Amino acid sequence: MNECDEKFMRRAIDLARRGMDANSGGPFGCVIVKDGKIVGEGNNQVTSSNDPTAHAEIVAIRSACAELGTFQLEGCSVYTSCEPCPMCLGAIYWARPENIYIAGNRNDAAEAGFDDEYIYTELDKPNDQRRMSMKTILRDEAVQLFAEWKAKADKTDY
């Protein structure tokens, strides 16, 4: 860990505290950095925006992508005040940053009442055995749509 890493993580923790104190949402903050400069940041805004996806990492990813004019964060580092939940981790992987730095971990979050273990457990189950089971309908039409995508000449791969 170097001085810059500490500086960016302190900013993520500060954003978490500010958001918590303002009752924006839970105590989570995130900073995204490219070439030593913050290009996106966010705090949890779930309760203030009535948006269950407004986690700090998602807010920061949206901010960074808008700032950089791209849908991927190659060459970026993510600093987040806590280990990302499954949704945020998935979004981070889709964004493809170079590094992820965390302060707290999922056990620390669970101790404070933010327990995502049930999601991890659900993901290990077959689709039809999950609490919210997934039932397949109109699969042939979806497969056809994917075939059209594969054949599309002017698509932007990601």
The answer to whether 57 is a known catalytic residue is yes
Residue type, 140: D
Contact present, 41 and 32 (Cβ < 8 Å): yes
Q: Is residue 94 helix, strand or coil? A: helix
Place of tokens 């030593």: 36
Query: Which among 52, 126, 120 is positioned nearest to 86, based on CA atoms?
Result: 120
Among candidate residues 113, 63, 110, 59, the one with its CA nearest the CA of residue 83? 110
Set 3, 6, 57, 122: catalytic member? 57
Gap between the Cα atoms of 11 and 37, Å rounded? 12
Residues with active-site annotation: 57
